[in-house]
Amino acid sequence: MAVVTLLGIAQDGGRPQPGCTRPCCKNLGNEDLRSPVSLSVQTSGGKTILVEATRDLGRQLRFIGNPPIEHLILTHAHLGHVDGLGLFGRETMSARNIQLHCSPSMQSLVKKTPAWNQLLKQNVFQFASFPRIEIDDVVVEFHLVPHRDELSDTHAIIVRGKSNSLLFLSDHDTWRETLHANECDTIREFLAKLNVDIALLDGTFWSGDELQGRDMNVVPHPTVEESLERLGERLEKDPQIVFFHFNHTNPLHNVDSKEYNILTELGWDVGFETQQFIL
Ligand SMILES: [Zn+2]
Ligand SMILES: [Zn+2]
Ligand SMILES: [Zn+2]
């Protein structure tokens, strides 16, 4: 069996967000720090697959005992998902021949970005299979999703093990577009079509109120409020749904908030770092 570990639950900026002087980031202790989203998949054969390369790699790999990384998956080019790529290079890990799995559009960005292209030339990374990866008892599939694609396209990841399948959907623009692109009317139908038992879903903002005057169109994500409205209560045969990718302003960071209570009362989960899923 394969083991998936959640290594980060924050949106790209992390928690605290640099420069934030609002109550959400004031007086945070070490125990309140959160890293940008990332996932490790450990196969039955002892291989480690990492999803996303964040700047907090040092903190995150400690959660799983610092194993060597054989495969790296990138979903898209936004800051928190790629800003740790350089950590694999000479200045830090001096890694070799890491199999890098990403879309052709992401590959071309890696080649065009001098600091990343150098990592290719130094054999830190080698482009490897896409959109399907098979390693030991695990199959990983890429699934295209609508998301503001200024730098690269965006994919969700589906990790299939022998007994369970898990969806990693950290970023998308709207449910309307994502469901439409998949010819589905509801989130349940969408998850059933992808045939997953566990779904990690974009929970960036609880509601539009968090943006404080910034336009939702500039940083589009479906709000958790909307997702819950669409989902209602968890029913017996529903998959486990875990929200993550929380902006620093999101009240779901706080287990004592009324929003945390509303979500869990409905039967859904709030992701936490080191959370594990057995596939
Ligand atoms: Zn993101
Ligand atoms: Zn803040
Ligand atoms: Zn993004």
If one counts every other C-beta atom within 10 angstroms of the C-beta of residue 90, the result is: 12
pLDDT at 150: 84
Q: What is the pLDDT of residue 217?
A: 65
Q: Which residues lie at CB < 5 A from ion ligand 2?
A: 17, 20, 22, 24-25, 248
> 118 φ, ψ to 5°?
-60, -35
Query: For residue 188, what pLDDT is reported?
Result: 98
Distance 44 CA to ligand 3 centre (A): 31
Q: Which residues of 60-75 are buried (b: 16+ CB within 10 A; e: fewer)?
A: bbebbeeeebbbbbbb
- The third-level CATH classification (topology) of the domain covering 3-278 is Metallo-beta-lactamase; Chain A (3.60.15)
d(CA 76, CA 93): 22
Cβ-contact 256, 272 below 8 angstroms: no
Instruction: Tell me, in angstroms, the distance from the centre of ligand 1 to residue 274's CA.
Output: 19
Going from the Cα of 250 to the center of ligand 3, the distance in angstroms, rounded, reads 16
Distance 236 CA to ligand 3 centre (A): 32
Question: What's 15's DSSP letter?
Answer: B
Q: What ranges in 143-201 are assigned the alpha helix state H?
A: 175-181, 187-194
Q: Cα-Cα-Cα-Cα dihedral of 66, 14, 140, 114, to 10°? A: -90
- Taking a 5 Å cut-off on Cβ, the residues next to ion ligand 1 are 12, 78, 171
Residue ranges of domains in the chain: 3-278
* pLDDT confidence of residue 218: 66
C-alpha 80 to ligand 1 mean position (Å): 6
Question: Could you give the CA distance from residue 41 to residue 112 in angstroms, rounded to a whole number?
Answer: 29
120: its two tokens: 């290719």
pLDDT < 50 positions in the chain: none
Ligand 2 centroid – CA 1 distance (Å): 39
Q: Give tens-digit pLDDT for 29-87.
A: 999 999 999 999 999 999 999 999 999 999 999 999 999 999 999 999 999 999 999 99
User: Residue written as tokens 């990690």?
Assistant: 200
**Centroid of ligand 1 to alpha carbon of 254 (angstroms):** 20
Predicted confidence at residue 246, as pLDDT, reads: 98
What is the structure's pLDDT at 70? 97
Look at residue 219 in the predicted model and tell me its pLDDT: 73
